[in-house]
Amino acid sequence: MKSIFLSIAIASLITSCATCRMQKSLQVNELIGTIHLGNSACPVVISTKENGAVKGYYPVNIDDSLKVGNVDGKKIIFTYAQSRAPQPAGCDVDMTITLLTTRWAK
């Protein structure tokens, strides 16, 4: 009975550690987002899950390396400032942002 309980406890710890490490590695004001390549009005959207709600951000100064097809669906860690640039017509997002820092999530 002890060995079964111990095995379950170890398995639970191992599966939760990856998420814990990612959250512990976040700095103040950093968010984890997923890159989505969209249409011509909104070529790149970064979606996040904040307090259980999904939010979409349109970055106005995104690097060209984040606009290519092989990054669609990948996770990044980023900081941002709200941009005063208007949202493009046909781009349905929560906020237009300026990216301050970006790095790939592991």
Residues 76-97: pLDDT tens digits?
Answer: 999 999 999 999 888 889 999 9
Residue 45 is predicted with a pLDDT of 94
Residue closest to 49 by CA, chosen among 37, 27, 31: 31
pLDDT band at 73 (very low <50, low <70, confident <90, very high): very high
The pTM of the full predicted model, rounded to 2 decimals, is 0.72
Q: Do 60 and 96 meet the contact criterion of CB atoms below 8 Å apart?
A: yes
Sign (positive/negative) of CA torsion 19, 25, 28, 32?
negative
Q: Under CATH, what is the fold of the domain 27-104?
A: OB fold (Dihydrolipoamide Acetyltransferase, E2P) (2.40.50)
